[in-house]
Structure 1
Amino acid sequence: MLVVVAVAITLIALLVLRRRGREGEDNGSASIDFAANLALAIYLLVLAYAVVLCRDAISTSQTDVQAETEALSELYWSVAPIPEAGPIRAQIRDYSAKSVSLDWPLMAHGEMSPVPTKLLENMRAEVLRLKPADETGKALQQTAVGHVSDVFHARAVRSDDANTGLESIFVISMLISGLLVIVLPWTVGNRPTGASIVGDLVRVTVVVVGVGFIMLTGHPFNGLGAVGPDDFVAVQQQYDQIDAQFPAKPPAD
């Protein structure tokens, strides 16, 4: 839509100038050129800052997702040696799978599913209800309690990341300065030439590409470079490796 609007405005402006414009007259073009260059400088400055903010948001969200999966892996390691913790292993796996299937589609819109949250709450209750038979099991239970808290914290951080996005002031500033970059040279009223048309196309392309790129990268879980659930998929393979070291015991009759 942005490209279509920009092209339409450009064509309309060129047609109007072709019919009404004056050729070879200096109608304060020096002042207009200075204002257009100033608007271009502002536009590029805002664009550069917005790009840095978008990349930082994506990088931070990726790190936070990794921290959550690491906490889940450590939690699984903590409960694996406890014979009574078989159901907790299943809950950890279920939470990881549901985070991928339910959370990720919603996170692109800044929301989170309540289902994994409920699973996590039940998981904490199950860890607290454990009654290990020996001191080693009790120590592992305490460690698991800490890791559950880490997962809760990491999930809250992921929810905050899903609600982040580029502030509207940057997009508004880019749109205003970009429009000035495009429109100001047309106010001189000269008829378009081959060179001026090329310049117009370059200006429009720079503005459209810049604004479009920011709109496509303005959310860490949506658009170009969006953070995916790869770490949650990978951690489920780690659960299999842990199970190979500590096979789950069937529940006693």
Structure 2
Amino acid sequence: MVWVFGFVAIVVVALFAVLTWLRRSGRSDEEGGAGPIDFAVNLALAVFLVVVAYAVVLCRDAISASDADVRAESESLVELYWAVAPLPQSAEVRDLVRAYTTHTVELDWPRMREESLDPRTGVTLDSLRTAMLKLPATDSELRAEALARAAEVSHARTVRADNATSGLESVFMVSMVVSGLLVIALPWALRRRPTVPSVIADVVRVATVVTGIVVIHLISHPYGVEGAVDPGPLKEAQVRFDEIDRLLPNGGAA
């Protein structure tokens, strides 16, 4: 978030510098090409707003899809816990399922804002899959289901890693920046001396463009904004593990 304040500060300084220059060397004549310039500004603004609106829709869809993937991962973990609970000697596996879920919430989540996953969570997942292969084949159907659920969890982690590194196509950011600069700078081509109404118009234009660019950049990948994709389903899974242990208090004991 520090870059946001830096970006806004640079824009404010640039706006102040331009208005100061126009005040000193601008002209009072408000004619001379104002019509074509105003048309170009309106056209650039239309392009900017269309790109922003489309980008918001794409980003929102990506966030919704990532949220659905987290819910699917949580469900797979709960179903895995259900599958291994009745199996003998499954205490280690259940402990690793709990550990993996905890590590996902506490280690992976902060790193996903930086578009990466914590390698320690991957090590825990590898240990979980290894422990599952050591389970005795007393109930081949349950064991097969548990292995299938473990594969689902592994796939879900891969999908989450892809989501964490996904982002908006660069063409949208380039289009926003170019059209936004045109919206801001074209009226200054007339070199009009600033007046109170023109300064207000300049501030509104700059604020609109800067706000659009900052918002789109922040939500350009699903985990870019804290809380956009919530680990709540995984925390709910941790509660479900306790419920399963209460329902099957002797599960995996022998």
TM-score normalised by the chain length of structure 1: 0.92
Distance (Å, rounded) in 1 between the aligned partners of 2:47 and 2:25 = 30
Contact 1:21 1:191 in 2 (8 A): yes
**CA spacing shift, 1:224–1:35, aligned 2, 3 Å:** farther
Cross-structure match for 2:222: 220
Q: How far apart are residue 84 of structure 1 and its match?
A: 2.1
What residue number does 1:234 align with? 236
| Deviations, residues 66-109 of structure 1 (Å, cap 9, x unaligned) | 11110000000111112321211111001111112221121111
Aligned length: 249
Answer whether contact 2:116 2:165 (CA < 8 A) is retained.
yes
Q: Which amino acid aligns with 1:167?
A: E
Mean alpha-carbon deviation: is it higher for 47-56 or for 236-245? 47-56
Counterpart Cα distance in 2 of 1:216 and 1:248: 48
CA distance in 2, matches of 1:218, 1:250: 45
Which letter maps to 2:237?
V
Contact 1:28–1:188 (8 Å) recurs in 2: yes
**1:197-225 superposed Cα distances (whole Å, 9 cap, x missing partner):** 11111111101111111122122112255
C-alpha distance in 2, partners of 1:221/1:248?
Answer: 40
Q: Identify the match of residue 118 of structure 1 among 111, 116, 123.
A: 123
Written as runs of structure 1 = structure 2, the 5 A alignment for 1:150-229 is 150-223=152-225, 225-229=227-231
Structure 1 residue matching 2:57: 3-state secondary structure: helix
Question: Among 6, 23, 31, which residue is 2:28 paired with?
Answer: 23
- The answer to whether the Cα contact below 8 Å between 1:58 and 1:225 also exists between their aligned partners in 2 is no
The answer to whether 1:6 aligns with 2:8 is no
**In 2, distance between residues paired with 1:95 and 1:224?**
21
- CA deviation vs aligned residue, 1:149-196 (integer Å, no higher than 9, x gap): 111111110010011122222222211111110110011111122221
> Is the Cα–Cα contact under 8 Å of residues 86 and 248 in structure 1 kept in the other structure?
no
Alpha-carbon deviation of 1:118? 2.3
Q: Is the 8 A contact 2:86 2:251 kept in 1?
A: no
Consecutive unaligned residues in structure 1, runs of 5 or more:
none
Once residues 101 and 174 of structure 1 are traced to their aligned partners in structure 2, the CA distance between those partners, rounded to angstroms, is: 35
Cα distance change of structure 1 residues 150 and 249 upon mapping to structure 2, 3 Å threshold: closer
Say if 1:166 and 1:219, in contact at 8 Å, map to a contact too: yes
Partner of residue 60, structure 1:
65
* Residue 14 of structure 1, CA deviation: 1.5
- Spell out structure 1 runs of 4+ moving beyond 3 A: 248-252
Q: Give the partner amino acid of 1:15.
A: T
TM-score w.r.t. length of structure 2: 0.92
Aligned to 2:149: 147
Distance 1:193 1:224, change over 3 A: farther
- Among 26, 40, 45, the alignment partner of 1:40 is 45
CA RMSD of aligned residues (A): 1.7
Q: Which amino acid aligns with 1:145?
A: L
The 3-state SS of whatever aligns with 1:84 is coil
Query: Structure 2: which 5+ residue stretches go unaligned?
Result: 1-5
